[in-house]
Structure 1
């Protein structure tokens, strides 16, 4: 049980990081606010995005939880499907263009309003319900819905760790942007996205290869 819990913690933190990592509209907004208004404003942007991710993560987890036994019985199939979806997303992310054209409500550097910052980034993130499919792919790839004695404890463990992973990511991003603010460029952000895309593709490929290898080992020889 301890190994299962530790494995779930690591996987859930990884999901929190992977969901937050793509440099989409919210990521660009976080960078802009960090550059123009300071690290605190950038991190509050990340918190707003994390709250939205938590909502969608919960919806997806609870929905998947209703068919936990079915998923566990077909774990290999779901792992491969999730891996394929991740590779598809990686291809899309690698090809996507990145720029600074993300609307911010105010550009006044002297007036900080953290609740408004959190609310605006929450709404921007929440306006993209397609993230549910991203969570489905990640849950399937990592088999993140194990059968605990208490489903509620399992849910709380996963959600808390996803939040930790997301906040850890936004902390790192704002820290790096604050340190390297004189060297941030659109081309740099694009290459950052491409590196993230390659990581997604590798995660997906590893999932497919490991699952196929496992299936090959379990095939009885005649």
Structure 2
């Protein structure tokens, strides 16, 4: 029998794992302020998709795949750290500037890229699988789930994670107001520094592991 609260548990887990401030949160806030809530929400969707992948692996006890991904953490952290470094440098170099398409009135930067970059950044931390496994155990989901139950749980995780970033983006958009050039400059500077810190953390973790 499927737990009637399984979907709700998945939503709660998705929110709990997405809520801590990290590089995706910083990107969501910055993209919302610079490009509008649509880009912020799509950034969150990309992260939620990666959370869904990790949740799927944990829910179905895919030990072999989980172990394989964790074994790749050095390479994935290197990729993630590099991507964050590039984003940080780009943010700092273009601080205070918004490039818009004069014909469409929309900021440059593909929506697909917003989803893909967040997905890859989230996926670059395979240790999230262990976070999900621990969380599942904490809420009494350590046992092997049926196929239907697993899908319901992961759907809840995805919705919870996506909902958190959507709410974050909408709140930032509603309270951001009109940005002055000086405000925009400082937003970019702070975001760039934070992204540099996250990148440095990834590289430091790699160095300590070696």
* Same fold, judged at TM 0.5 (above): yes
Q: How far did residue 166 of structure 1 move? A: 1.2
Q: How far did residue 56 of structure 1 move? A: 1.0
User: What residue in structure 1 maps to residue 124 of structure 2?
Assistant: 127
User: What residue in structure 1 maps to residue 55 of structure 2?
Assistant: 57
1:29, 1:102 within 8 Å by CA — same for their partners in 2?
A: no
Q: How far did residue 108 of structure 1 move? A: 3.6
Equivalent residue in structure 2 for 1:22, among 20, 23, 38: 20
**TM-score between the two structures when normalised by the length of structure 1:** 0.59
SS at the partner of 1:5? coil
Tell me, yes or no, if structure 1 residue 166 matches structure 2 residue 164: no
SS at the partner of 1:6? coil
Equivalent residue in structure 1 for 2:176, among 171, 175, 181: 181
- Number of residue pairs the alignment of both structures matches: 149
Gap regions ≥5 residues in structure 2: 65-85, 101-106, 191-210
User: What residue in structure 2 maps to residue 157 of structure 1?
Assistant: 152
CA RMSD in angstroms comes to 3.0
Change over 3 Å in CA distance of 1:147–1:52 after alignment to 2: closer
Alignment of 1:171-210 (within 5 A): 171-181=166-176
Equivalent residue in structure 2 for 1:37, among 32, 35, 38: 35
Q: How far did residue 5 of structure 1 move? A: 2.5
User: What residue in structure 1 maps to residue 5 of structure 2?
Assistant: 7
Change over 3 Å in CA distance of 1:147–1:25 after alignment to 2: closer
**TM-score between the two structures when normalised by the length of structure 2:** 0.62
Q: How far did residue 9 of structure 1 move? A: 1.8
Tell me, yes or no, if structure 1 residue 143 matches structure 2 residue 140: yes
Q: How far did residue 146 of structure 1 move? A: 5.6
Gap regions ≥5 residues in structure 1: 67-100, 187-222
Distance 1:111 1:163 in 2: 27
